[in-house]
Chain A
Amino acid sequence: MISHYLQRHGIPTTTISLIREHTEYVRQPRALWVPFPLGRPFGVADDPDFQRDVLRSALRLLETATEPTIEDYPHDVPEGGGDGVWSCSIQLPEPEVSDLEAALRAEVDLLTPWYEEARRRRGRTTVGISGARPEEIDKVVSFIVAIAEGSGFKEIPPSARGPNWNHPFPMLVRFVVEDLRAFYQEAVTSQEGTNPPSQQDMHSWIFNRTALGQAIIRIGQQIAADEEPRLKMIRGLIVPEGFWRDEVSWGAAPPGMERIHFIRSSLAYLAGEEA
């Protein structure tokens, strides 16, 4: 849509398309469909030649297309794009379900040197979207443990006070979970030369092999037990479809309520704008 609006205001556009079916409906002026996973419009990390070729192919449509065009990029992502061959080379203990906090903190302690190495080598980290600084990861853990153990969705858990949390509650739950996932994912991809994981590899590892996955599922259970149905949207944002066993992770609108109204009401509720 944005491509149409920009062009209506005088700016020519070219677009990467990840879902061809959407592009066929939206009919952007110029689109290069790429057969890459969602989240990776330029294909693969740390491969400048490949990224440049995708970018150049999309830009070239600005010169070659003379009418609305969808061109198919002819190459898949090169070897190393993930897809089921990854295994974590950092040995974590079997997650101990009886003491979630101890298990989670033990994992974070084991991953910290890997995380720090990755952060130093890359010169960056993506941890921090919740508002917590990377140095405050212990408060991120406290937050997740408290919510998983039933502190509720009315206020920030007292044990997690300190960081300058950057999102309204309860939506904040979604971003705190993201920060700890980012910490784990940056740590386990720190080693050069290993076959990098795909997102599906990461989902499987986190939800089948880590205390973090168990904590996220317990948050999902707290949401299921809560009388507020609009919380289920958060579950859909932290538990990918396929990893929540009881029903659709997103949940469903209450009987008699249209889905779009349920979504709008959920958004307002999660942003703290609607009781």
Chain B
Amino acid sequence: MVRLDELHPEEAASMRNAAPRFGDFDHDATPWITPPPLAESTICLVTSAALHRRDDVPFRFGDSGFRLIPDDVDPNDLVQSQVSVNFDRTHYQRDMNVVLPIDRLRELHGAGEIGGVSPVHFSVQGASPDAKTFEASAADMANRMRELGVDAAMLAPV
């Protein structure tokens, strides 16, 4: 249960201190875009869990780049270079889908609820002293998504 009051006071303070750093961001510069109906939309996942394949270059702490995860990745090929000790890894260690729900996305596609699943998903290192450093790599991600026929992205933090 993530309510800040329930975290250790140091962790909660750190989370509270992080929030105002987003305050000077020009939110209104982001346009509103409406995707096609879900049943016609190809979806891709973006995780900030710093997951990557074993032979990928691991993320640095503060890394603003991304790694690609194929939709048919062998779950045993995934490792995690997220540096924080302050989140629950036990469920991810038992089941990839609690962080990266590739199997669930395929089931929704099989049931006709979404139009398709991107052949590739994206992973970033969420532990960053400055989230604005992601601007360039997000532009690159968006270009790749368009090439892949992605209609909308499902983002999930850890």
Contact = CB atoms under 8 A, between A and B. Distances in A.
Interface of A: 1-19, 21-22, 24-29, 35-46, 48, 51-52, 55-56, 58-60, 62-63, 66-68, 76, 82, 122-126, 128-129, 166-167, 171, 174-175, 181-182, 185-186, 189, 196-199, 202, 236-242, 248-250, 260, 263-264, 267, 270-271
A56 B158 CA distance: 18
A135 to B, nearest CB: 14
Contacts, number: 273
A28 B93 CA distance: 29
Interface of B: 1-4, 8-11, 15-16, 18-20, 22-23, 25, 27, 29-35, 37-38, 41, 43, 46, 48-49, 54, 58, 60-62, 74-76, 78-81, 83-99, 101, 103-105, 107-108, 113-114, 124, 129, 131-132, 134-135, 138-139, 141-143, 145-146, 150-158
Contact of A59 (B29, B76, B114): B114
Given A1-B134, A4-B25, A5-B139, A39 B89 contact: yes
Contact of B32 (A21, A67, A125, A189): A67
Contacts of A5: 134-135, 138-139, 142
A241 B54 CA distance: 29
A64 B20 CA distance: 29
Contacts of A17: 157
A219 B15 CA distance: 26
A13 B152 contact: yes
Contacts of B95: 45-46
Given A7-B30, A129-B81, 14 more contacts: A2-B124, A3-B153, A8-B29, A8-B30, A11-B145, A14-B153, A42-B98, A52-B108, A59-B152, A59-B154, A189-B94, A238-B85, A241-B9, A242-B10
Given A7-B30, A15-B155, A48-B107, A197 B2 contact: no
Report, nearest first, the 9 A-B pairs whose CB atoms are least far apart. Answer: A39-B87, A5-B138, A9-B142, A39-B88, A45-B95, A124-B76, A199-B88, A38-B87, A45-B91
Contacts of A63: 37-38
A61 B61 CA distance: 32
A165 to B, nearest CB: 11
A240 B1 contact: no
Contacts of B99: 39-42
A90 B1 CA distance: 27
